[in-house]
Structure 1
C-alpha cells in the first residue's frame, strides 16, 4: 500500500466536507431571507401605524374607493371595491389562476395582469380569462369613513 492512501481515522471524506459546507451555506441563505421578510413586515407595520395616521387594520377612507371601481392594497394582499354607492366589498388580491397579484380595478372588473383574468367587483366571480375560481372574499367593516380589515 502506498503512503498516500486515505485512512478513515485521519478525518472526514472530501464528499462529507463539501456536503457540510453546502448545508451551512443554505442555512445562512435561508436565515437571511427570513430575516429580511421579518424586517420588511416589521417596517410595514410600523409605517402603517406611525405614518399617515392609519391604525392597524385600517385600509382606507371610504372616499379613497371610487364608486363602480376599487383599489388594490398589495401590502395587505386585498382589493376593496365599491360596486354601488356606499356598498364596500373586499377580496383576496391573489389571482386564483396562478397566484399572481391582481393589478388594478377598471370598468367594473378586477384585473390580473399575468394572464388577463378578470373578476367582478360585486362578488369576485370570474368575468373572463383563464381563472376558473372566484377571488375569495375578505371580511371588512366600515366604521364611519374608515374601511377596516375585520
Structure 2
C-alpha cells in the first residue's frame, strides 16, 4: 500500500511539473508513454535518444558531408542508417541517393550488392540506378533523395 500511494504521489507531482504537457490519464503506463514525447522532458538520458529519432532523416547530415566519393563503390553503394538514406554509384562518377526505408513494410535496407539495394526483412530488391523494384514483395520504388557532389564530397541537400 505504501508503494502504491508513493507511486500516485510521484505521478501526480510529475503531472503538475509537466504542466499538462502530457496526459496524466495513463497512470499505469505513464513511464512508458512519457518516453515517446521525451523531447520536452528534462532528463538527459531520455532526451538524447528521442532527439535523433524525431529528427527528419536527412537533417543531421543536411549541409554536412555524408560521404566521400571514394566511399561509394562503382556499381554499388552504401547505406547510411542514421540518415535513412542509401547512396549509389551506378556508373563511374554518377551518384544517386534514395530513401533507405523499404516501401514494402518500412524496414531499413541493409546492403547494396550486385546492382541492387537489398531489404533483409522480406527480400525486396531495388535497382541502384533509379530505385525501381527488381524483386518484390515491394511494389513501389524507393523515393529519390537529393544529394550534391562537390569535388570528393557527397552531401544531402
Q: How would you bin the TM-score normalised by the shorter chain?
A: 0.7 to 0.9
Corresponding residue for 1:97? 104
1:22 CA drift (Å): 6.7
- How far off its partner does 1:58 sit? 1.6
- Deviation of 1:55 after TM superposition, in Å, equals 8.6
User: Take 2:150 and 2:92, find their aligned partners in 1: how far apart are those partners?
Assistant: 16
Q: Distance in 2 between matches of 1:87 and 1:142?
A: 10
**Whole-Å separation in 1 of the counterparts to 2:147 and 2:65:** 9
Q: CA RMSD in A?
A: 2.7
Runs of 4+ deviating beyond 4 Å: 41-45
- 1:18-29 aligned within 5 A: 23-29=26-32
CA deviations on 1:5-36 (whole Å, 9 max, x unpaired) are xxxxxxxxxxxxxxx98712433322224436
Which residue number in structure 1 is paired with residue 41 of structure 2? none
Aligned-pair distance for 1:105? 0.2
Deviates most, 140-149 or 32-41: 32-41
Q: Which runs of 5 or more structure 1 residues have no equivalent in the other structure?
A: 1-19, 46-53
Deviation per residue, 1:64-110 (Å, 9 max, x gap): 00000000000000000000000000000000001111010000000
Matched residue, 1:111: 118
**Bigger fraction of residues in helix:** 1
- Determine the C-alpha separation between the residues in 1 that align with 2:113 and 2:65: 23
- What is the count of residue pairs matched by the alignment? 123
Q: Distance in 2 between matches of 1:57 and 1:37?
A: 26
C-alpha distance in 1, partners of 2:37/2:139?
33
Structure 2: gaps of 5 or more residues: 1-22, 39-44, 56-60
CA contact (8 A) 2:102 2:142 kept: yes
Q: TM-score, normalised by structure 1?
A: 0.72
Q: Which is greater in Rg?
A: 1
Report what 2:153 is aligned to.
146
Q: What TM-score comes out, normalization by structure 2 length?
A: 0.69
